[in-house]
Amino acid sequence: MSLLRTQIGVLARRSMLKTLRQPFQLFPIVFFPLILLAVNASGLKAATHLPGFPTHSYISFAIAVAFIQGGMFSLINTGTNLAEDIESGFFHRLALTPLRRVALIAGLLVGVAALGVLQSAVYMLMGLVAGAHLDAGIGGVGVVLVLGALTAVAFGAFGCAAALQTGSGEAVQGLFPLFFVFIFLSSSNLPRNLLKTGWFHTIANVNPISYLIEAFRSLYIYGWDATALWRGFAVVIGLTILGLLAVAGAMRTRMQRT
Partner 1 sequence: MISSTHGGLWRVAWTIAWRGLHTYVRRPDLLVPSLVFPLVFFASFAGGLSALGSVPGFHFPAGYTAFQFVFVLCQSAMFGGLFTGFSLAFDFESGFARRLMLAAEDRRGIALGYALVALSRAAITLALITAVALATGMRITGDGIDIFGLYGLAFMLTLIGYGWAAGVAFRFRSIQAGPLMQTPVFLLLFLAPVYVPLALLKGWIHSVASINPATAFLDAGRGLISGVQEHTALAFVCALALIVLFTIWMLSGLRSAENSA
Residue selected from 122, 145, 185, 242 as contacting partner 1 according to rule CB under 8 A: 185
Collapsing DSSP to helix, strand or coil, 175 comes out as helix
Rounded CA separation 68/73 (Å): 9
Q: Using the rule CB under 8 A, is 23 a contact of partner 1?
A: no
Rounded Cα distance between 248 and 103, Å, is: 12
Site mask for partner 1 (CB under 8 A), range 197-226, x = bound: x-xx---x----------------------
- In degrees, rounded to 5, the angle at the alpha carbon of residue 162 between the alpha carbons of residues 157 and 164 is 95
Taking the C-alpha atoms of residue 189 and residue 121, their distance in angstroms, rounded to an integer, is 22
d(Cα 93, Cα 13) in Å, to the nearest integer? 18
From residue 39 to residue 58, the character string flagging contacts with partner 1 as x (rule: CB under 8 A) and all else as - is x--xxxxxx-xx--------
Figure out which of the listed residues 30, 117, 194, 234 binds partner 1, where binding follows CB under 8 A: 194
Q: How far is the CB of 230 from partner 1 (least distance, A)?
A: 25
Closer Cβ to partner 1, 14 or 192, answer by number: 192
Residue 80 to residues 86, 88, 135, 139: CA-CA distances in angstroms?
A: 10, 12, 36, 34
**One of 77, 78, 166, 189 touching partner 1 (CB under 8 A):** 189
Q: Which of 153, 195 has the CB closer to partner 1?
A: 195
The crossing angle, in degrees rounded to 10, of helices 137-166 and 101-130 is 140
Which residues of the chain form contacts with partner 1 (CB under 8 A)? 24, 27-28, 35-36, 39, 42-47, 49-50, 174, 177, 180-181, 184-185, 188-190, 194-197, 199-200, 204
